[in-house]
Chains A and B, each alone.
Chain A
Amino acid sequence: MRTFTIFVLLILNFNVLFGQTQVAGRVRDNRGRAVPGASIAIKDSYDGATSDSSGRFRFKTSEQGTHSITVSSIGYKPFEQSVQLAGTNLTLDIVLKEEPSELRAVTITAGSFSAGDSKRGAVLSSLDIATTAGSNADITAALKTLPGTQQVGEQEGLFVRGGAGYETKQYIDGTLVNNPYYSSVPDIAQRGRFSPFLFKGTVFSTGGYSAQYGQALSSVLLLESIDLPDSSEIDASISPLFIGIGTQQVAKNKKSSWGINGGFTDISLYIKAVKQIPDYFKVPRFYSGDANFRFKTKRGGMVKYYTTFGHSQLGLRRADIDSAALKDAFALTNTNWYNNLSWREYLGHGWKMNLGSGYSTNKDIISQQLQNSSNQPQQPGNAYYWLQQKNFSLDNRQDLSQVKAVFEKRLGGISAIRFGGEYQYAYNSSGYNDTLRTLIDHYSAGFVESDIYLTNALAAKIGLRAEQNSVISKSNIAPRISLAYKTGKDAQVSLAYGEFYQKPENIQLFYTRGLGFTRATHYIVNYQKMTKDQVFRVEAYYKKYKDLVKTVPVNYYYSQYDNSGDGYAKGIELFWRDKKTIKEIDYWISYSYVDTKRNYLNYTTSLTPNFAATHTASLVAKKFFTKLKAGINFTYSYATGRPYYNFMLNSGNKYYIVDQGKTKDYHSLNFSMEYVPSIGKAGAKSFVVWFASISNVLGYNPVYGYNYSYNGMIKQAVTPPANRFYFVGCFISFGVDRSQDAINNNL
């Protein structure tokens, strides 16, 4: 019995007998740097401490015996060590291993600009795109304020780093968009077909892009559509130029939605009010409709379908350059139908799947006619064969069906491997007068790519793409590599290298099938420093073009093509965005320098292409006046003159330069403003935004290049149809009280 009592007493007094243990030490990372703020604890007890700014800690515990010490700190893998607590002081030297995390990890920025609210590292948000003066909510126009792009105003497209417009491809939810712009009209750039409000994220890559994409020598624009809208509403837009109405309906459980929109554009009032250089004998009219449905799957995936249908017509007349008495009448009727169905799904065990499919068809009916002063058709005699060529009809059709699958597997931490393939079936036909040419093309590609995070500070993306094209019976393998290294808290350096292939344009393939892929190699180095309010980027690149398509004239009216062209582009670009220095003003500046030459098409030798200006700069500034509920935006763009050439054939069927020069510098000052009277009107049944803009406020007369008469004696400047462009419109959302959003959003 006595022994028992002593035993009990011993237990009760255990702590007293042995006293406390002091635990002290240091917490460091695997590079020997102190980890402050780490939590050190004796497992299953209250005892522990937090490491100080030098990583040191010290605490006392009355626990006894074998225990686990745990150390945790966000960004590091949890640490656990067994210790004996027996009253003797313990000193622990703890090394924590970094845990790769998306928030902390370096992102590869070489060559790419991200835009979107959801993306980390976003340079421009979707709202920024809509409120950039001069863009009038056209995505391409807003992107032209970023470095690497040219201020080309006479044709649509993004001309990136010495590349032509067709070297940039657009993708929506992973699949290619065949006709991203309204059909071309000679010397007038057309808008993009897709509104920026359809998308939650935009990545604009000016080079060195991922192996998931191909067939673009210069650049890709990746658009990611929104998942589910926030709320149901009915929207209307009214302007002297167009009217539109539509609705978005979100299911009560917020798991699915559908929407439908219709619009009609007619610029007849506008051309009465603002004088245009061309004479519109058929007023441009655009009918458009779109529909969508989206739903969340059980596993958290997303299925999205979007379709848009458009029909447009226009006809315009200009003075003929070869004959003062004649006019050129150009008419275009376009029908376009675009469909995109995508399915994103989580397959479990770290697997993710992205499936995309698309079908689009585009038909242009073009007629070009010589007319006399009373607008009657003219048939020049055989002696004037160069004038005869100005009477023609052209029916073009482009159909594209495609499927794409991407599978991704997470590999420990945030490293990932993804692979997949795509297949495109394209049917193209071109009916020139009575001659019909068709082109059927099967394109398939496979790719594999891995994101490797060696540490949070060092990441690599290594990819390989293989492509096969039936129409030219050629295949290729294109490696892509990029690296990013974090040099400081907000700063990083990225490098990118890649091989890019693109098949020749249809217009060339209709005449010559014996062509190979055109090719570009990119080398990019980028430095970026980004804080919450400021972004600074500088990027230098070298791009080598190989196997560009050259025109081989057979006689004065017929040409063949080969791959004997080449070229290069090199340059440096700066971007600075600042929301902090000037109170309540958000501005960005971009500057691009490009040195580029290419020998392609009918160029006689290596020449700076006519779309490339050596220096380009933009300044964009925005300010919102909360009290007035209105905002104003300015954009100033500048570019040095672009070269122009007139090539003619000599008697030996060789091109020579008859005339060349440089256009004057380009300046454009654009202004826009928005007025949002509904802000803060609680209970309001509609949300109204007024928007007005003037492009080229100062009325500067831009010259994009020159057109030449057949004999080369007369040259005529290529200018926009009117110097300034005015817009005013009103956008209303009904049915939902969105003023509450404004309140909640501005807490």
Chain B
Amino acid sequence: MKKCLLVLLVAVFAIPVLAQSDRYTAVMKKNLALMDSAKTPADFQDVAAAFERVGDAEKTQWLPYYYAALSQTLAGWMPDVKDKDANAEKIKVYLNKAEAIEKNAELYAIENMVATQQMIVDPQTRWQTFGMQASAALKNGLALDPNNPRLYYLQGEAMFGTPEQFGGGKAKAKPLFEKAVALFKSAQPKPLYPSWGQQQAEEKLAACQ
């Protein structure tokens, strides 16, 4: 009887603990699937908010905030999102929450994309601020993680999008995409950790041939 009681007690207290981490993994997977299938800016915003709720509830996980920021950033590339500054404001709220927990290279990758989105609104007058921010984010990210494939991919994108007259172009972007693809192939991300970018990098590399 005593044994039985003990088992029961363990079960009562352990189940919620297990359930909590299982629930976390489950909800993250569900939200990641939602992000992959998101089509409209509203879809991305919903997913971002869902990730934020997970982050707010968990309090010690940076990944939910990271994905909230990433989801809002994906919306930021869409032409439907007209006010890139307002969108960037939302992303920065998520980024700040993530950075309060851990400052890492993946967050710098987002920072780079946000600054780029704000810069291309009006490159002529905005490069001095946002162009600088974008390249500083890449530099800082690579200092923390010199083998981050996404940072090389983003560097390649920047080079690819810069006209040859300004020192960019396919030829200069190609080695960066090559490096990114090589790093993607050897990368072994932990479960739930960022893994996006390989397909984009391979496509861009093909476009450079």
A: which residues have CB within 8 A of B? 1, 4-5, 8, 11-12, 37, 39, 41, 43-50, 52-53, 74, 103, 117-118, 122, 125, 127, 230, 532-533, 579, 586, 624, 626-627, 629, 679-682, 739-740, 742-747
Contact = CB atoms under 8 A, between A and B. Distances in A.
B38 interface: no
Nearest to B90: A74
B53 A48 contact: yes
Contact of B49 (A39, A53, A127): A39
Nearest to A739: B167
A19 B96 CA distance: 36
Contact of A626 (B8, B12, B116, B163): B163
Given A44-B57, A679-B166, A747-B120, A12 B125 contact: no
A626 B46 CA distance: 41
Given A46-B23, A744-B135, A117 B54 contact: no
B70 interface: no
Chain B CB within 10 Å, residue with most, of A1, A122, A627, A746 = A746
Contacts of A533: 122
Contacts of A52: 42
Contacts of A624: 124
Contact of B162 (A8, A49, A579, A743): A743
Nearest to B125: A125
A490 to B, nearest CB: 10
A491 B13 CA distance: 60
B145 interface: no
20 contacts: A8-B12, A37-B42, A39-B53, A41-B49, A48-B49, A49-B46, A50-B49, A53-B42, A74-B93, A118-B129, A532-B121, A533-B122, A579-B122, A680-B163, A743-B158, A743-B166, A746-B123, A746-B166, A747-B116, A747-B134
A5 B12 CA distance: 11
B99 interface: no
B127 A127 contact: no
B168 A743 contact: yes
A265 B27 CA distance: 72
B45 A37 contact: yes
Given A11-B12, A103-B85, A533-B122, A742 B56 contact: no
**Chain B interface main SS type:** helix
Contacts of B57: 43-46
Contact of A746 (B12, B49, B56, B168): B168
| Best-buried of A48, A122, A629 by chain B (most CB within 10 Å) | A48
B129 A747 contact: no
A103 B89 contact: yes
Nearest to A744: B135
A746 B163 contact: yes
Interface residues of B, number: 49
Contacts of A11: 12
Nearest to B120: A747
B53 A47 contact: yes
Interface string B17-57: 00000010001000000000000001001100110111011
Nearest to B132: A744
A230 to B, nearest CB: 8
A739 B168 CA distance: 11
A744 B167 CA distance: 9
A375 to B, nearest CB: 53
B158 to A, nearest CB: 4
A447 to B, nearest CB: 32
A45 B167 contact: no
B15 A680 contact: no
Nearest to A128: B125
Contacts of B90: 74
Nearest to A8: B12
Give 4 nearest A-B pairs by CB, closest first: A745-B127, A680-B167, A744-B135, A745-B131
Contact of A679 (B42, B125, B159, B165): B165
A50 B53 CA distance: 11
B86 interface: yes
Contacts of B1: 1
B119 interface: yes
A41 B128 CA distance: 39
Residue of A4, A627, A743 with most chain B CB atoms under a 10 A cut-off: A743
Contacts of B127: 744-747
B194 interface: no
A711 B137 CA distance: 74
Interface string B112-156: 000010011111111111011011000000000000000000000
Q: Which of B12, B27, B125, B167 has the most CB of A within 10 A?
A: B167
Contacts of B42: 37, 50, 52-53
B131 A746 contact: yes
B164 interface: yes
Interface in B61-109: 85-86, 89-90, 93
B175 interface: no
B125 A127 contact: yes
A431 B49 CA distance: 76
A43 B53 CA distance: 8
A743 B12 contact: no
Contacts of B126: 117
Contacts of A118: 129
A41 B89 contact: no
Contacts of B46: 49-50
A47 B49 CA distance: 10
Nearest to B133: A744
Given A46-B27, A74-B93, A682 B167 contact: yes
B53 A45 contact: yes
Nearest to A683: B167
Contacts of B119: 747
A629 B166 CA distance: 8
Nearest to B138: A744
A230 B162 CA distance: 21
Given A627-B165, A679-B166, A12 B53 contact: no
Contacts of B124: 127, 586, 624
A43 B162 CA distance: 45
A188 B12 CA distance: 94
B49 A532 contact: no
A379 B209 CA distance: 86
A207 B165 CA distance: 44
Contact of B131 (A4, A47, A629, A744): A744
Contacts of B167: 679-682, 739-740, 742-743
Contacts of B164: 680
A747 B93 CA distance: 24
Question: Max chain B CB contacts within 10 Å: which of A39, A48, A579, A626?
Answer: A39
Given A1-B1, A743-B168, A8 B8 contact: yes
A141 to B, nearest CB: 21
A427 B188 CA distance: 76
Contacts of A47: 53
A682 B167 CA distance: 6
Given A12-B15, A37-B45, A679-B167, A745 B122 contact: no
Contacts of B162: 743, 746-747
Nearest to B56: A41
B207 to A, nearest CB: 17
**Residue among A8, A127, A532 facing the most chain B CB atoms (10 A cut-off):** A532
A626 B174 CA distance: 22
Given A37-B45, A117-B128, A747 B12 contact: no
Contacts of B131: 744-747
Given A46-B23, A103-B85, A747-B161, A41 B53 contact: yes
Contacts of B168: 680, 743, 746
A37 B45 CA distance: 7
Given A117-B128, A742-B167, A747-B161, A74 B122 contact: no
A744 B166 CA distance: 9
Contacts of B165: 626-627, 629, 679-680
Contacts of B54: 46
Contacts of A12: 12, 15
